[in-house]
Amino acid sequence: MQKITPFLWFDGRAGEAAAFYTAIFKNSKIVNASTLPDGKMITGTIVLDGQEFMLLDGGPMFKFTEAISLFVKCETQEEVDELWEKLSEGGQPSRCGWLKDKFGLSWQIVPNALGRLMGDPDRKKAQAVMAAMMQMGKIEIAKLQEAYDNA
């Protein structure tokens, strides 16, 4: 059982967000939804690849900021590419693997290779990987590896 669950506040689009996110991530579903008489979701629970989230359609009072982001570990470049493309659609790609989706929620789409390469005890190699990553929007494993190999 998950003890701590992220609770996400949306402005009029909680139901749309639930459908959007569960369509992107494997092993995902809308667990429950409380709706208004017009069918609009007011609260809900979703599971994204095994991680539970609660959603609230709370109105315009609060907005998402980059102070909180969802960090997604990716095994392959294909997974990075797919999640980057889908989550940034209608949103705003940024640098170093960060993006905002169309709801304003910040995500970090990060290949596991980044941590492995940056954690190398050879500081020159690790710093070369960091420098390469700092030049990227979407993180590209091959370019990280190239920087590592050339250091």
Spell out the domain ranges in the chain. Answer: 1-61, 64-151
Q: What are the two backbone dihedrals, phi and then psi, of residue 72, each rounded to the nearest 5 degrees?
A: -110, 120
* Fold equal for 1-61 and 64-151: yes
Q: Which residues contact 98 (CB under 8 A, 6 or more apart)?
A: 66, 69, 106, 107, 108
Alpha-carbon distance values, 125 to 53, 96, 130, 138 (Å): 38, 18, 9, 20
* CATH class of the domain whose range is 64-151: alpha beta
- 1-61: CATH superfamily: 2,3-Dihydroxybiphenyl 1,2-Dioxygenase, domain 1 (3.10.180.10)
List, run by run, the mean pLDDT of 10-residue segments along the chain (151 residues): 94 98 97 96 97 97 97 98 98 98 98 97 97 98 98 96
* pLDDT at residue 98 in the model: 98
Q: What is the C-alpha separation between 14 and 95, in angstroms, rounded? A: 27
C-alpha neighbours within 13 Å on the C-beta side of residue 22: 19
* pLDDT at residue 137 in the model: 98
- pTM for the predicted model, two decimal places: 0.94
What's the per-residue H, E or C state across 70-135? Answer: EEEEECCHHHHHHHHHHHHCCCEECCCCEEECCCCCEEEEEEHHHHHHHCCCCHHHHHHHHHHHHC
CB atoms within 10 A of CB 151: 17
Q: For tokens 């994204």, name the residue.
A: 48
* pLDDT at residue 1 in the model: 78
